[in-house]
Structure 1
Amino acid sequence: MKSLIMIIDGMADRPIPELGEKTPLEAAETPNMDKLAENGINGIMDPIKPGIRVGSDTAHLSILGYNPYKVYTGRGPFEAAGVGVEVKPGDIAFRCNFATQDEDGIIIDRRAGRIREKTDKIAETINSMKIEGFEDVEIIFKESTGHRAVLVLRGENLSDKVSDSDPKKEGKPPKAVKPLNDSPAAEKTAKLLNRLVEKSYKLLKEHPVNIERLKRSENPANIILPRGAGEVPHIRKFEEKYGLKAACIAETGLIKGIGNLTGMEIIEVEGATGGIDTNLKNIKDAIIDTINSQYDFILVNIDGADEAGHDGDLKGKIEFLEKVDEILEDFPLDEMFFVFTADHTTPISVKDHTGDPVPIVINGPGIRVDNIKRFNEREASKGGLCRIRGSDIMNILLDLMDKTEKFGA
């Protein structure tokens, strides 16, 4: 039997007064998710442990059975690996935002109007950048999906022990990058990054792509904001760890990077944007094709609900969850063990990740079906799976797949 974990990024939420204290998942019409609940075993899951506000990266690592406290050095290496940069030992990698800065040096849009097109042209300009006094460092910059990008610094005496430049909120200037320890390498890296951020604005403010965006009254992508510094980690390959040939279907560079660094085959999907405008039909077709291929395990991540949560877009989140529900119709559940869950909670009211547990349901032959009929945060908490952690999932799946050895006599 094959197994599949489908993670609807940021799907879980908190009660919302204008919905009569329902969550978006409780308010949405989701007959196929409810069918999963009715035919499966339900519960709630803490991606790492109760109350921990996880990132998508650390949550996915935990769900895949890797200890994020040991293998996670920062988001940058995963983002870089996910967009096709061949990272090397000693490289320092960052995730970046294309952002909009005004003439007073204030960030007025951290996502540059959620830019979608021609970011490759902007990346070419950054890659041509030379920073005086740092000629020994190679700058590797590549666009990812939407407003996202990656930066890799390659050279001697560099460190990932530096702070972020992203102010996290609009209305503030970029943060000055600071060394997080007293090492000369951290001091050098921080100084280089501050120069790089400053120079990116000078190079990009009159870039042809941004001139076009301004003519269309769109926010220009005129500065880059590096964050999530990390040194490339050593991660045991998924197939070596579990004996399962694995594939990954994901929209964002971050999750593709986790797939790449764990040795999964990355299945590209046309039209998979990572937003609420993503082509869910193409994603479903890719999932079905992959189920019917040689892989034993498939990881799927769909990102739009998280985007809506970060944007505080209640209507968009509900509508997106209903669209996700549609692709679950006629899913080949008799051919696999199917885990359906989220990686974290992204409440509309908070516009960021929180430590609330997320609903989870497992379908497949031999499952001890409970009496839950609806799939949502509160109903799932009453199910037979009870409350588990993300690190429990692979153990459960391996047992269901009869891939484990007995512990003890």
Structure 2
Amino acid sequence: MSKQALLIIADGMGDNPISLLNGLTPLEYARTPNLKELASKGLFGNVYPVKPGVPVGTDVGHLAIFGYDPYEVYTGRGPIEAYGAGIDLLPSDIAFRGNFATVDDELTVIDRRAGRINQNTDELAKSIDGIVLSNGARVIARALSAHRVAVVIRGQNLSEHITTTDPGTAKEGERVQQSVALVEDKNALETARIINELTEKMYSVLSLHPVNQKRILDGLPPANMILLRGIGREIQAPKMAESFGIRGACVAGDRTVLGIARMAGLDVFHQEGFTAGYDTDYIGKAELAVSKLKDGYDWVVLHVKAPDLAGHDCQPMTKVSTAIKLDMMVGHILQQIDLEQCYIGYTSDHSTPCDRRDHSGDPVPTFFAGGNVRSLPVEDFGEKFLVHGALNNLTAIDFFHIQMDHLEAVRKLGA
């Protein structure tokens, strides 16, 4: 391929007008001269992650960004978290996305993120890893970013047709849910039974763990439970990198994104300072992404999680700050690459409006810039400034194919 492309994903950056920001969105309010400059040098618009008005999860949004139709390949968040944790799934496994959480003796959820714990989670996960349940199934547990953990049950005759144990977002005060079978099937009934058995064992093991004993002494909420959700089986999908004949790389701190990239056939890169939080090393990510371009990768993905956290936490000014930091990161990148040789794209996996504190079905600001890309002028960067662009009303899968076409990786249809 004669050219390369860098795609920057600002997780959850899309938003709606906020009164605190004079009726602007965080992107519209923030000063982002580098994003504005790039948008003016290419295609831009507000792109729907999957379909208009359909809110999507981080997993589904990123599957679409990587060119997959989620309606065809998505089997649940759990398998993606397992990929991100480096677990190679077997067809008979069932996988969960988990949260380290704080519960009381009645298993009532006090804090479903255990105070957003971000230290010593490896030790906690290891105490669960290897538990053997009464039917002989074995538990595999791996810590992910912050409070997140991947949990896989490995055994025979397991069923994914069961309910999970997490009561849900903002459901503190409710009890850890009992798993029940969703179908009248002996495998589903038995699987639900061992998940409830695992809930009891996790509480017993984690409550006595030295890490949690110290957290209690330090006045911190103990991570004495893992809430399970996002059950699914191994994803059966072709590797995107092979399908399009590209050499791809992904630089990220979020294990979910790394998992999807790994599933798609990209080489994944993570360093200690690359967190899934506000404290991530923006410049370090930029430097590593540029180095992968210099190493000859055709398509490099650079992911930043922080905007999504600010949306979920209803922190508009923090979201503005993440936009400014991201723009500075883009400016650092622009000093080191030639736009005649390397395209730069920008998008989000979904919007996370601050007033909603959750994902919405709104389209997300997006652009694809470079030397020979068609362009239009823009007044500034943000949702309302891109409404006249060519990418409006397209989807993330459309945007993916536009990038691949500019890399000359899409086969011609017809003679």
| TM superposition score normalised by structure 1 | 0.96
Contact 1:37 1:373 in 2 (8 A): no
Q: How many corresponding residue pairs?
A: 407
Structure 1: segments with no counterpart, 5+ residues: none
Deviations 1:37-80 (A, max 9, x none): 22222111111110111111111111222111111100111111
Structure 1 residue 344: Cα displacement: 0.1
Q: Which residue of 2 aligns with 1:367?
A: 373
- Tell me whether 1:161 sits opposite 2:134 in the alignment: no
Give the one of 377, 400, 406 matched to 1:400.
406
Deviation at 1:236, TM superposition (A): 0.5
Q: Could you say which residue in structure 2 is the equivalent of 1:146?
A: 146
* One-letter identity of the residue aligned with 2:68: Y
The residue aligned with 2:194 is: 192
Which of the residues 177, 181, 192 maps onto 2:179?
177
CA distance, structure 1, for counterparts of residue 88 and residue 390 of structure 2: 44
Structure 1 CA distance for aligned equivalents of residues 27 and 241 of structure 2:
34
Q: Determine the structure 2 residue equivalent to 1:209.
A: 211
User: Post-superposition shift, 1:314?
Assistant: 2.0
Q: State the alpha-carbon separation in 2 of the partners of residues 256 and 187 from structure 1.
A: 33
How much has 1:395 moved relative to structure 2?
Answer: 1.9
Per the alignment, residue 246 of structure 2 pairs with 244
Contact 2:67–2:240 under 8 Å retained in 1: no
Out of 377-386 and 145-154, give the one that drifted further: 377-386
Deviation readout 1:124-144 (Å, 9 max, x if unpaired): 21124343x32x201111111
1:315 CA drift (Å): 2.3
For residues 39 and 153 of structure 2, the distance between their equivalents in structure 1, rounded to whole angstroms, comes to 47
Matched residues in 2 for 1:130 and 1:399: separation?
A: 49
Letter of the 1:400 counterpart: H
Specify whether residues 270 and 251 from structure 1 end up closer, same or farther in structure 2 by C-alpha distance, changes over 3 A only.
Answer: same
Whether the 8 Å CA contact 2:130–2:140 is kept in 1: the answer is no
Alignment of 1:39-78 (within 5 A): 39-78=41-80
Paired AA for residue 28 in structure 2: E
Separation (CA, whole Å) in 2 of partners of 1:357 and 1:39: 21
Q: Is the 8 A contact 2:49 2:350 kept in 1?
A: yes
- Residue 363 of structure 2 is matched in structure 1 by 357
Question: CA–CA distance in 2 between the matches of 1:177 and 1:315?
Answer: 40
**1:323 aligns with one of 322, 325, 337:** 325
Match of 2:262 in 1: 260
Q: Secondary structure at the match of 1:116?
A: coil
Q: Which amino acid in the other structure matches residue 31 of structure 1?
A: P
1: CA distance, partners of 2:217 / 2:267: 41
The CA deviation string for residues 276-332 of structure 1, in whole angstroms up to 9 with x for no partner, is 111112111111111111211112221011111111122221111111111111422
**Partner residue in 1 for 2:348:** 342
Aligned to 2:225: 223
Name whichever of 340-349 and 14-23 sits farther off. 14-23
| Equivalent residue in structure 2 for 1:35, among 27, 34, 37 | 37
Deviates more, 1:356-365 or 1:293-302: 293-302
Unaligned runs of 5+ in 2: none
Displacement of 1:180 in angstroms is: 2.1
**Distance of 1:405 and 1:111 partners within structure 2:** 46
Contact kept? 1:238, 1:246, Cα under 8 Å: no
- CA distance in structure 2 between the aligned counterparts of 1:147 and 1:105, rounded to whole angstroms: 18
Q: Deviations over 1:179-224 (max 9, x none)?
A: 2222222222111111211221122123211111122211110100
CA distance in 1, matches of 2:128, 2:408: 50
Matches of 1:282 and 1:185 in 2, distance apart?
A: 48
Deviation at 1:355, TM superposition (A): 0.5
- SS of 2:398 mapped into structure 1: helix
Conservation of the 8 A alpha-carbon contact between 2:33 and 2:327: yes
1:21 and 2:23 matched: yes
Distance in 2 of aligned mates of 1:180 and 1:336:
50
The 3-state SS of whatever aligns with 2:331 is coil
Could you tell me whether the CA contact under 8 Å between 2:368 and 2:403 is conserved in 1?
A: no
- Partner amino acid, structure 2, of 1:162: I
- Calculate the aligned-residue CA RMSD, in Å: 1.5
* Identical pairs, percent: 38
2:131–2:138 CA contact under 8 A, matched in 1: no
Contact 1:64-1:393 at 8 Å conserved across structures: no
**Contact kept? 2:99, 2:113, Cα under 8 Å:** yes
Higher mean alpha-carbon deviation, 328-337 vs 253-262, is at 328-337
Note if contact 2:101-2:113 (Cα within 8 Å) is conserved in structure 1: yes
Deviation at 1:33, TM superposition (A): 1.2
3-state SS of the aligned residue for 1:140? strand
More moved, 219-228 vs 258-267: 258-267
Secondary structure of the corresponding residue to residue 323 of structure 2: helix
Aligned to 1:124, the other structure's residue is in SS state helix
- Rounded to whole Å, the distance in 2 between the matches of 1:186 and 1:21 is 50
- CA shift, 1:9, in A, is 0.4
SS in structure 1 opposite 2:38? helix
| d(CA) in 1 for partners of 2:323, 2:163 | 35
SS of match in other structure, 2:242:
helix
SS at match of 1:275: coil
Residue 151 of structure 2 aligns with an amino acid whose one-letter code is L
**Over residues 146-168 of structure 1, what are the superposed CA-to-partner deviations in whole Å (9 max), with x where a residue is unaligned?**
10001111111001222221111
Shift in Å, 1:380: 1.4
Residue 111 of structure 2: aligned partner: 109
SS at match of 1:329: helix
